[in-house]
Structure 1
Amino acid sequence: MTELRYIYATRADEGTIRPDPAQEAVLPEFERIRTALQAPPPKRGLFGLGGAKPEKIKGLYLWGGVGRGKSFLMDLFVTHVAVPKRRVHFHAFMQEIHAGMAEARKRGVEDALAPVADKVAAEVRLLAFDEMQISDITDAMLVGRLFERLFAAGVVIVTTSNRHPDELYKNGLNRQLFLPFIEEIKKHLEIWELVSPTDYRQDRLSGEQVYFHPANEAARSAIDRIWQDMTGAPIERIRAARTEAAAAGLARGTYAAQAAGLVLTVKGRQVVLPRFRNGVARASFWDLCGAMLGPADYLAVADAVRVLILEDVPRLDSSKFNEAKRFVTLIDALYEAGVKLVMSAAEEPERLYLEGSGSFEFERTASRLREMQSADWGQSTTH
């Protein structure tokens, strides 16, 4: 079994990754977990009776700034672990838990969480979460019992986060009820801060074109390449999904819903990001500005993503007043949060909204769109 540090070194020698001492320092922690997971089970006693129980394996909570390579290290680890496993974004996982509990309640199950958690524990030995963060009170009140049950069943958890455990659900409603979960995290997971001076996600886009007009096939191809570079998604799969959607007569952008996305719950509403991976989201203008969304929804999007790819922004006029207003609110939320924006549009920023109520105020949005195209945009902003 080749150790992860040698796999990492080989990739560095090949030039596919840039070696980073901060990343190399945490590899032994991943290797510790991988070795323990793949170790043979303890020998049973005479006549197959008794025998030592498998030792509980302490997981890992890897936290640090945006773009430092946490998701990359997670992928490297998960790819080379030969046990039943699942890698999933934390938001998406919690949405699945809530959906499973709703089904259990329909069946009259008194403790709806129990069968859902037990099903997860029966299916995987390792759960790898990307971007753990708690912003919803329903998640905050549920996650403690969920993890307690998973830990008891021997499920090993490895997770990334932008926040130290003590900062999770900070200032949240009834946070005192959430504090025992933080202690469980510290008990069952090693806490490791990834301190690197390099923001690799920013580096990928630094100096690259991030605003495309008009929103034609050339723009879509360029954005496909950016999406592939940022997420590792094969371009062929992207194009096949789009072709399939077009053949079915679906609207542009609908093909994205066929791939793994992210659903955010905000005050009981659902905000859908049709495609999402490693903190990078991809959606059409109509996905986010054609829906009945408001400031709280866009703040949730800005909090959940590090890069937003927004496609097919049309010319805006009085007939699209509501959509234009939502677009302005979305850009404001992304701007204030320092989120990197990749965008395709019908026109350059100053010509997107030339007539109609609000066109004068749109000048500020156009200015922000210009600023967000700069190579160093967002580099001084922590998120």
Structure 2
Amino acid sequence: MKFCTGSEYLVRCIQRGVVSRCVLPTARVIRTHWTVRTYHLVSDSRHLRGRIRSCSSNGDPVFGGGKSTLNRFLSTDVALTKKQVVDRTPLEQYEYLVSIGQIRDDSFQRGIVSSLVSLHKAVKNYHPTPIEYPNIDDLKPKRGILSFWSRNKSYLQRKVSLDNIPKGIYLYGDVGCGKTMLMDMFYSTIPTTVLSKRRIHFHAFMQDVHKRAHALKVQHGSDFDSIPMLAAALADEARVLCFDEFQVVDVADAMLLRRLFEALIHHGVIFVITSNRAPDDLYKNGIQRQSFIPCIELIKERLHVICLDSPTDYRRIERPLKNVYHSPLDARAKEHAETWFNYFANPRDPPHAATHSIWGRELQVPKASGKVAQFTFDQLCGQPMSAADYLELARNYHAFVITGIPILTLSNKDKARRFITFLDAVYESHGKLVATSAVPFSEILSDDRHSSDRPKEMDQNMLDMVGEMGLTNESLKSLNLFTGDEEVFAFSRALSRLQQMSSAQWVDAAE
């Protein structure tokens, strides 16, 4: 496999241990005995997740740190070997999966596949222009009376024709209707020799964006406009971006996405997105939603919006249970947890506490062995942990044993949200989940919006906080941030995923 322009320089950089500069991004493939993954060498070494020590005779990189170093370098959002089916169209792959019994033939899904086939053809014939990075000085604040009008003028006011950029696809529908399966099938049929690509859960994408934006501001100053530079780097790494479970619930994300999406589209990035919500329902009743409307209009303009309203939730079709979930919390619950922990544990790695570093903080794992970690529910969700913490756990462990899960309700939003975020991270990494709970797993999540025990008004601290934003108690009553609408969607998705993760097919799948 050949390097891009400037290969001799790149090889010298690699042999020294640091990739510092490359004329063009290069898609490479790392082959090991357990996976094949695609990564991209980019112009800034900060984007790499490790250091390449040397090159083998065939040009592939050799890592000095063994498998653990390789895992740190690789992103979890790239495709595994079993998903690389680049010699088929989406329709051919769909019919193949039906023929081997892996999926059921569905007339609703076939209608979507035809749209994916059209996009697949357009992508293979798409020849995007090279990415043009903005000038660093243009992104720094200008001084003087005309500073507001002059900032970024030379970069942001360039007119870019969108006529030659294929329109993407926005798939939305109820949980379990096959959105993610269809997107993954499309992703697997795009040859990396045609266009660079990236498939990622939206939680993980936003964590990556915030982290890289923070790094740019640390380097260039807090008033540095990081979005244009970040958009250019993201477009350089992937011309096809596939987002799973797209949703906007945070005002900071909403304001960032409005500019980022526009910049990525003008760089020629093609989007394939799955969501539980139609575009017009994104960030519904959110704070400052009016400022997010341009992003919604851009999505509707540049993506074909398709409702996948298949009546069947395929994740709820009965499959043999492996009894990975146990209830109630009786004497057998402890035995259940110990049995499964020992099943996943490494006999040569005695159970021990572990510590991981993330964003300068220490993340404690009470009990670990090999690739399995065990927590009580309070240890996992009773502390102020973020999506980044759960993604880090999912990157480091393939199986989780969670004990003492209570009934989760909308009245207890913080713990419920953390548990759902944790489930999303484990599900997306194809991890295993063992749990002991107070009730059967199908009843762990409960919608109690109409419960008489649920608080009817916000507490004084919340009122003080929103008062600083110029909002009133009455205006907030309609916001889904306080009505629980977003949690209901998330609860529904989590229940469906819990069902799927309890199947023998999921538990027995190779890691």
User: TM-score per shorter chain, which class?
Assistant: 0.5 to 0.7
Q: Which residue of 2 aligns with 1:65?
A: 174
Q: 1:196 aligns with which of 310, 318, 339?
A: 310
Query: Match for 1:74: what amino acid?
Result: M
CA contact (8 A) 1:61 1:192 kept: yes
Counterpart of 1:130 in structure 2 is 244
Q: Conserved in 1, the CA contact under 8 Å of 2:216 and 2:226?
A: yes
The answer on 1:100 being equivalent to 2:100 is no
Local SS of the residue matching 1:273: helix
Deviation at 1:53, TM superposition (A): 9.3
Query: CA contact under 8 A between 1:310 and 1:341: conserved in structure 2?
Result: no
Match of 1:186 in 2: 300
C-alpha displacement of 1:215: 2.5
TM-score under structure 1 normalisation? Answer: 0.64
> Is 2:235 the counterpart of 1:121?
yes
After superposition, the Cα gap between the structure-2 partners of 1:247 and 1:301, relative to the gap in structure 1 and judged at 3 Å, is: closer
Matched, 1:33 2:119: yes
| TM superposition shift of 1:115 | 1.9
Q: Percent identity at matched positions? A: 33
Which residue of 1 is the match for residue 386 of structure 2?
A: 270
Shift of 1:186: 0.2
Q: CA 1:341–1:191 in structure 2 vs 1: closer, same or farther (change >3 Å)?
A: closer
Work out the CA distance in 2 between the residues paired with 1:342 and 1:145. 32
Q: Equivalents in 1 of 2:113, 2:303: separation in Å?
A: 15
Which residue number in structure 2 is paired with residue 20 of structure 1? 106
Q: CA deviation at 1:216?
A: 4.5
Residue 300 of structure 1: aligned partner: 417
1:145 and 1:158 map into 2 onto residues whose CA distance is 18
The 5 Å alignment of 1:156-305 reads 156-204=270-318, 209=323, 211-212=325-326, 213=333, 214-216=335-337, 218-219=339-340, 250=354, 251-252=366-367, 255=371, 270-271=386-387, 272-274=389-391, 283-285=400-402, 295-301=412-418, 304=421
2:324/2:433 contact within 8 Å kept: no
Q: 1:206 to 1:146 in 2, by over 3 A?
A: farther
Q: Would you say the 8 A contact 1:64–1:193 is kept in 2?
A: yes
Query: Once the 2 structures are TM-superposed, how far is the Cα of residue 299 of structure 1 from its aligned partner?
Result: 3.5
1:332-347 equivalent positions in 2, closer than 5 A: 334-336=445-447, 337-338=491-492, 339-340=494-495
So what's the TM-score if we normalise by structure 2?
Answer: 0.49
Question: Which segment drifts farther, 32-41 or 248-257?
Answer: 248-257
Change (3 A) 1:171 1:53: closer
Work out which structure has the larger RCO, using CA pairs closer than 8 Å and 6 or more positions apart in sequence. Answer: 1
Identify if the C-alpha distance between structure 1 residues 248 and 78 changes in structure 2 by more than 3 Å, giving closer, same or farther.
farther
For residues 245 and 201 of structure 1, the distance between their equivalents in structure 2, rounded to whole angstroms, comes to: 35
Distance 1:165 1:244 in 2: 51
Alpha-carbon spacing, 1:81–1:199, altered in 2? closer, same or farther (3 Å): same
Higher relative helix content: 1
- Shift of residue 144, structure 1, vs aligned partner: 0.8
Corresponding residue for residue 96 of structure 2: 10
Where do 5+ consecutive residues of structure 1 fail to align?
Answer: 43-51, 223-238, 258-267, 315-326, 344-373, 376-383
Q: Distance in 1 between matches of 2:386 and 2:420?
A: 15
SS in 1 for 2:336: coil
Distance 1:25 1:160 in 2: 16
Q: Distance in 2 between matches of 1:115 and 1:26?
A: 35
Q: Residues 26 and 185 of structure 1: is their aligned pair in 2 closer, same or farther, counting only changes over 3 Å?
A: same
